[in-house]
Every structure is written in C-alpha cells, then in structure tokens.
Amino acid sequence: MASTAPAGVVRVTVPERSVRHDLRAVKIVLHRELIRFWRDKLRMVSGLIQPVLWLLVMGTGLSNLMASGGPAGDVDLKTFIFPGVCAMSVMFTAMFSAGSIVWDREFGFLREMLVAPVSRSAIVVGKCVGGALVATLQGVVIVLLAGLAGVPYDPLLLLELVGLMFIGAFALTGFGVMMAARIKSMQSFFGLMQMAMMPMMFLSGALYPLNGLPTWLTILTRFNPLTYAVDPLRQAVFAHLDVSPALERTFNPGVSWNGWVVPVWMEILIVLLMGAGLTGVAILEFRRAE
C-alpha cells in the first residue's frame, strides 16, 4: 500500500550553495550595515565630534603654540594632523561597526544569520566590507573639511584620500570583527576596544612626526598597524603642498625600517594583507562559533 504524505505538509527547498548565492549574502549584509548607519543619526553626529575636536581645537592650539618662529615654519599644524584625523575617524567608526556583531549576538539575530543556508565566510566578508564602507562615508565628511586645515581641494587628492581610508577601514573592521567573534557582551567589547584603539592612535604618528623618537617608542610605532594607514594619507597630502625640503623632512619623514624608508605602495600592501589576514582569522572564528 502506497504511503501518502500528511496533509498540510509544505516542502521547503534550500538552495544549493554557490558563489552567486554567497555574493548575494555579502550584498544583503552590506546593505543592512548601510541601512543601520543611515537610520542612526546620533551615531553619525557623535562619530564626527571627536575628529573635528582634534582637528579644529587641538590643531589650532598647536598652531598657535608653534606660530612664533618654531620648527613648523609655514606649515599649519592642522594641515599636519589632518591625515591622522582622517585615519582616526575611520578607525572609530569601523570598530563601532564591528561591535554591532556583539549586539546582534545579545539579541539573537547573529544566530539566525549563522544558521542561514549561506557560507559564514560571506557573512564575515559582508560585515567587513559594509563596516569599511560606512567608516569611509563617515570619513568623507572629514575630507570635506580639508580647506579648514589648509589642504587643497584637489579632486585627485580627495579621491586618493577616500581610497586610502577605505583600505584602512577594511583592515580595522576586520580587526574589530575578529575581536567581536567570541565576545558576548557590549561592555566587554567596548572595554577591549578602548584598550586597543588608544595605543594604536597614539603610536601611529597621527598627532606627531615619527622621526627623532626614542628607540623604544620607534619600535612600538613600527609594529603598530595603524602607522601604515596614516603615513600614506600624509604622503598624499604633502605631495600637494609647497613646502621646503627641510620642513618635508621634519613633518613628513615617512616610515623607515633601520634607516630604509618604506615606500607608500608597500605600506598600502601591508594594510591590504593585514585586512585580508584579519578577515581570514575572523572567518575561522565564526566557523567555530555557535
């Protein structure tokens, strides 16, 4: 006697995994990040306050301090710290974007994403790309303030700054996602984030030149990933300024390894490799997660 299927049973078909299917998942996660960022106006405004304070308040104070014939010469200190402020802006936004993973875990949404019939790699990549894009959009606002820092509104320079910020933001988001993969509370994540971000910021050369430092401090700056994100931004800005060779050596010395100046293309490659490596570690963490 032939068996019959129970009435009212609906067969659910799960689509087979494919590259196209995973790319769609990346797009959905990225789109969700953009929607969350756009709807959170308070986050957009608060994310701008600290960089603007660094640029306009601290930059103006340093400029006044160095105005009386100091080593700055005809270089406005706001111009010097502008690349660092751009990097700091994307750093804070990228890390906060990564922190939303912990929020999703607390409210159960992360579990729903992890049990979805998509690769966990696609979820992590979408999160990293989405966080990097959100951080770059936040950084664009700082770039638009370039004139206040004495940086010329050269279209090529502005595009270069935005591209470099996206590369740095991708690496920083990957670092944040890697940290958030195993953390279960927002309090723990923000505590760890502050412990990681403040040393990275102060050891990156964002607020002071990297030449003439003590040996121990020089070593720390060379091992800081953010150093290689800040220096290309500063190199791009100074390439569009008319300053003397002496001031160039003082305020834009570059990053050197035992006397050898690291070229900008290698710094960009280092940041890209760090971003790919951190994203890879984050993927492994999520594959072992619940």
Q: What pTM was computed for the model?
A: 0.84
Of 16 and 210, the structure prediction assigns the larger pLDDT to: 210
What is the reported pLDDT for 271?
A: 94
The span from the CA of 1 to the CA of 206, in Å, is 79
Could you read off the pLDDT of 48-72 as tens digits, one per residue? 777 777 777 776 666 666 655 555 5
* Model pLDDT, residue 1: 47
Extract long-range pairs of 233-236: CB within 8 Å, 24+ residues apart: 233/83, 233/84, 233/86, 233/87, 233/161, 233/164, 233/165, 233/168, 234/80, 234/83, 234/84, 234/205, 235/264, 236/83, 236/157, 236/160, 236/161, 236/164
Q: Which helix (H) or strand (E) holds 244?
A: none
- Dist CA 214 CA 162 (whole Å): 32
User: How far does Cα 190 stand from its chain's mean position?
Assistant: 16
The tens digit of pLDDT for each residue in 248-289 reads 788 888 888 988 889 999 999 999 999 999 999 888 887 775
Question: What span, in angstroms and rounded, lies between the C-alpha atoms of 170 and 276?
Answer: 9
- For 257, list phi and psi in degrees, rounded to 5: -115, 105
Q: What is the mean pLDDT of the chain?
A: 80
Question: Cα 263 from chain centroid?
Answer: 21
Percent of the chain at pLDDT exceeding 70: 82
CB half-sphere exposure, 21, CA atoms < 13 A: 10
In the predicted structure, residue 12 carries a pLDDT above the cut 90: no
What's residue 160's pLDDT?
A: 94
Count the Cβ atoms, other than its own, within 10 Å of residue 259: 5
Cα(107)–Cα(27) distance, integer angstroms = 22
DSSP one-letter string for 163-202: HHHHHHHHHHHHHHHHHHTS---HHHHHHHHHHHHHHHHH
C-beta separation of 50 from 144 below 8 A: no
pLDDT at 230: 93
Give pLDDT, residue 267: 94
Confidence of residue 11 (pLDDT cuts 50, 70, 90): low
Q: Give the model's pLDDT for residue 121.
A: 81
146-155, 183-192, 245-254: range with lowest mean pLDDT: 183-192
Secondary-structure percent of the chain, ordered helix, strand, coil, rounded to 5? 70, 0, 30
